[in-house]
Amino acid sequence: MKKTIIYIISFFLFTAPFTCQAIKEQTFVIDNAKIIKADTTDYINVYSKYLKDNLDIEYYVITEPKINDEMTIEEYTDYIYEAGDISDKSLLIVISKENRKIRIKVGTELSKIIYDETINEYLNNYFVPYLKTDEWDTGIKNGYSAFFKLLCNYYEIDSEVVEVYDGNSFLNKNKTYIIIAIIWITSLFSYIYNNYLKRLNKGHIHLKDKIIISICLLINIGLLIFSYYIQPLSLLVILASELILTLSNLSSSKKKPKKIKKSRKKYENIKKKS
């Protein structure tokens, strides 16, 4: 009994508040159970934003690893709905993985469009067949899309928002490799830029070299912006790699004169002996 009480308290102190905060920040997917793939997460976030921007509809998908037996999924969904300050024009899908339960809650305004019979029909046709075989990601995306099209058809707006997101596109399929390539390319241009900068400081540089510096700098900035668009965190990695490269170039440039001084001393010693 004590363990149950502790679980419930910790659930409401830690899990639920973060979920509610994410909802308030308009994160349309809160995948605490880690059962939704990255492509599906992007798909839901983009399409839910599309509904929010065009119809002011809030459409959320929330997954939990487990909801304690002392609390029903209906009670948890109601709590999230109220604590997350979700509007009456909303649709909320909540899934508990270990409990193997799903709850779909609609706001007062959308309940005039999506009836209980519709919810049961969509659950049985679009969600349950996939969830029975543990195809969580496929079932969630399939069911989500069914309700999305229902809302678009009712309000007579385009449901084929293909240009907004394409999970099978080259960019989305090869994000990691593109980021790695950008890191190497920006480092290369940073290296060229630093080398020409050294020459500029020494005064041994011509107009052609200045043009090369400018082009390298512009390409570098462009690649940084593009990397942020693909994956914001990658920008920190790239900037860190460029900083390391710059510092290494500066340190190497400081070491070279020391070697020259040593060689000069050796030459002078040899000359004295002779």
Q: What is the pLDDT along the chain (274 residues), one digit of tens a residue?
A: 444 444 444 444 445 554 555 554 557 999 999 999 988 998 899 899 989 999 999 999 999 998 877 788 999 999 888 887 888 999 999 999 998 999 999 999 999 999 999 999 999 999 998 888 899 999 999 999 999 999 999 999 887 764 334 444 555 566 667 777 777 777 677 667 667 666 666 656 677 767 777 777 777 777 777 777 666 777 777 777 677 766 666 565 555 555 545 555 555 555 555 5
Alpha carbon separation from 182 to 80, 101, 151, 230, 242 (Å, rounded): 41, 43, 40, 11, 12
Q: Which residues contact 14 (CB under 8 A, 6 or more apart)?
A: none
Q: For residues 182 and 224, give the distance between their C-alpha atoms in angstroms, rounded to a whole number.
A: 8
Best CA proximity match to 175, nearest among 239, 240, 229, 237: 229
Strands (E), 73-229: 90-96, 101-106
Q: For residues 60 and 93, give the distance between their C-alpha atoms in angstroms, rounded to a whole number.
A: 6
Where in the chain are the domains?
Answer: 14-155, 174-253
Best CA proximity match to 101, nearest among 132, 143, 80: 132
Report pLDDT for 10.
45
CATH code of the domain occupying 14-155: 3.10.310.50
**Count, residues in the chain:** 274
Report pLDDT for 48.
93
- Helices 73-83 and 16-24 cross at an angle (nearest 10°) of 40
- Helices 207-230 and 232-273 cross at an angle (nearest 10°) of 140
Identify residue 92 by its one-letter amino acid code.
Answer: L
Report pLDDT for 245.
65
Q: For residues 89 and 159, give the distance between their C-alpha atoms in angstroms, rounded to a whole number.
A: 18
